[in-house]
Structure 1
């Protein structure tokens, strides 16, 4: 029975927790939940490593080796995610490739951590100063089910690159990929206390939050849970990548090309991505051609068993999650899809959504087509939501592109790409209820280090 990885050893003194195959709803190997002793020992091991971390070149080399080890274990990672997350093979392959890239980017950044000179000459003679970045200590990373390898890599990679110890608490729904990641990092040369997993649910997170030793909490997940973690963390530093009602604006351009991009961004991972398109604001003049092309793209996707090579869209993480998404369709006009069998929901396109659909994150394979009179109308509608993670806009008008870049209250604006356009090296984070702080190895390292000022004065 798999468990946590604490100080290099697999263990777990808590109860067994079932893990389901998300399509067949059959039980996989349960996990041994971490207990209080596991949490205490993990924090002690982390503190020991944080006192004497590997050097930057050593950290860089170990991260590169870990990426190579995971690359050689693609089959195991793929099999694990198909069963635990319900991802079709192509989504698994994308997740693995991105995670490898995230680790390699983190490896490169490990040797580029610098401060800056402070211009004392403008204020006082005979004094110089500079800043340096130093590790925060122990980072606790709490990650969700929808990216069970790459989201942990985005926390663990930069955390280790910065010289911290990292304790990873993955989703109890998808525990396997996290252990495979941590085993690879340990085999690659990180000492046992440098990186560990603690398996389990909210009780384990609470034990970590109640202990004063963690210096930094990196969380990806729902806004409600993020608020609770932020409150419990107190004055300790946090990085919050939270919920979203992600939108994409279509003003003009090739409807077939745009529809293909938007379909991928709407239904990848069954829509269970923070930046999955939930609302498509389409100019009146472009609506008919785009609607026809987009609906056709959705209807061409095959929803079914994620282990089948022909499947494009797998199940949601649970029957309850699928039922919740189905309930959000009430009152809307269904253009295609809308049916559900257990956790499996057909790719769905709606129009005339109820107000409730525009006020909560769907997190499922459904998107609404909403006509707008123009760019100002679209910007106002996007900005009216309490979230602000990312927005895409398709237009050939450079003026409209800059207007959107200035006017949209979101963390990222992607011109001629969808809201779900992400390259792992870029800064990634939101505003408003979508959180604060940034992912992307270079930017996350800044979050996970302190800036220390050093000054020198001349002696007479």
Structure 2
């Protein structure tokens, strides 16, 4: 089935096409258009031309459009979930959860469209300004270029499209090469919901070509990107004075202090580490466990992880399916071998099923300089290590170059507050895993995990400019 791009309110063919294959069985799903440089330019020009169109639409109408999209998605939720199963091998139960979250995300955006407040400024606080009245208003930036990843193609696109439209911006969306079907599907819903032509443009194809053209183009006012650290660095280098928000990599740590309810911590960590094969930016990758409960935790963690069913993503019983492509599977196996060769021990998993799916893998005694401790695994692999004091646990949690989210399980309020204060991360979850996220909370990292905040309210504000106005009596 040949798909089309959405440019200036029209569905257009590509000059060339590429085959989209299922990550699970490598069968052909569709033929995806490869945007030419001229088509990318046309999409940018359409967004640039229609800046005033969306800017001048009243907030309540923008809210109604976003609400209509959420309603349409709800009506077609099973179809959307099946798209995820096909294009990124997300197990169907997890796919349904993502679609449900996406519905909610667009509803948050609809509410936020009517909440863009300015503030009054007490001008008489400064000498010489006693006769002035000042206030601020928020205005849309203009054209937003949104570049989205493969792992949550519906919901992470919603975190960019929803706020952009709520704030009155136009968008050029470039989805990940492996997950274009979800972007095309959501464009169809926006069209049906009555979004004016040219406000949303969806282009597919080569990430290196399209990404560079978007980042360099002077008609683009902001780049919002979720993806790898390497690409994020390139965007910063090329973007010039454009506004940029980046949600990059992570290597999320969890600290497990002496807790009474160890079973709850185990269950949370199994889900946090292995949901969607660990292909989550805030997936649990490092677990530091107090020595007094270390062996008990390991035994229970292994027992629970081995209950997970690895298989066909379309099966309702499946917990874990394929990594996004064979190269990622090869890399994950190389990192496991690297850790094992340098003193680490494969405590559980570490092997593949008959159809080349990686089983949930637990490593212990992994050296600090191995890739699994230093880099982002994006695979169902977790490293577990004991600690003697909370100070040493926090120190080890902070060794990573990343700082997106972290978690700590503790029965001590003092320990919890200490961790909140000292862990270097954009978010700290007490008595939960870093994999926790709801779509209206502020979300973004420090260090090499990126810059800027997502979460509908925060993204919408990022996509506006504050204008100051003063009146003189």
Paired residues, number: 458
Which of 299, 319, 329 lines up with 2:326 in the alignment? 319
The alignment partner of 1:243 has SS state of coil
In structure 2, how many angstroms separate the alpha carbons of the residues matched to 1:343 and 1:69?
A: 37
* CA RMSD of superposed structures (Å): 1.1
Which of 387, 412, 416 lines up with 2:427 in the alignment? 412
1:345 equivalent in structure 2 = 358
2:108 equivalent in structure 1 = 105
Contact 1:22/1:343 (<8 A) preserved: no
Range moving further from structure 2, 186-195 or 44-53: 44-53
Contact 1:13/1:33 (<8 A) preserved: yes
Which of 293, 307, 326 lines up with 1:300 in the alignment? 307
The alignment partner of 1:370 has SS state of strand
2:71 equivalent in structure 1 = 68
Matches within 5 A, 1:60-139: 60-123=63-126, 124-139=129-144
Shift of the 6–343 alpha-carbon distance from structure 1 to 2, 3 Å rule, reads: farther
2:277 equivalent in structure 1 = 270
In structure 2, how many angstroms separate the alpha carbons of the residues matched to 1:22 and 1:104?
A: 31
Contact 1:81/1:87 (<8 A) preserved: yes
Which of 59, 62, 73 lines up with 1:59 in the alignment? 62
In structure 1, how many angstroms separate the alpha carbons of the residues matched to 2:40 and 2:336?
A: 42
In structure 1, how many angstroms separate the alpha carbons of the residues matched to 2:200 and 2:169?
A: 9
2:42 equivalent in structure 1 = 41
The alignment partner of 2:321 has SS state of coil
Which of 184, 191, 207 lines up with 1:186 in the alignment? 191
Shift of the 168–392 alpha-carbon distance from structure 1 to 2, 3 Å rule, reads: same
In structure 2, how many angstroms separate the alpha carbons of the residues matched to 1:131 and 1:184?
A: 34
Which of 153, 159, 166 lines up with 1:154 in the alignment? 159
* 1:36-95 deviation per Cα after TM superposition (whole angstroms, max 9, x unaligned): 222122112212221131211001011000001011111221111111101111110111
1:239 equivalent in structure 2 = 245
Q: Which runs of 5+ in 1 are unaligned?
A: none
In structure 2, how many angstroms separate the alpha carbons of the residues matched to 1:2 and 1:76?
A: 16
TM-score (norm 1): 0.98
In structure 1, how many angstroms separate the alpha carbons of the residues matched to 2:360 and 2:322?
A: 11
Per the TM alignment, residue 343 of structure 1 is displaced from its structure 2 partner at its CA by 5.0
Contact 1:61/1:107 (<8 A) preserved: yes
2:255 equivalent in structure 1 = 249
Q: Which runs of 5+ in 2 are unaligned?
A: none
The alignment partner of 1:450 has SS state of strand
In structure 2, how many angstroms separate the alpha carbons of the residues matched to 1:13 and 1:301?
A: 41
* 1:398-425 deviation per Cα after TM superposition (whole angstroms, max 9, x unaligned): 0111101110110000001101011111
2:386 aligned with 1:381: no
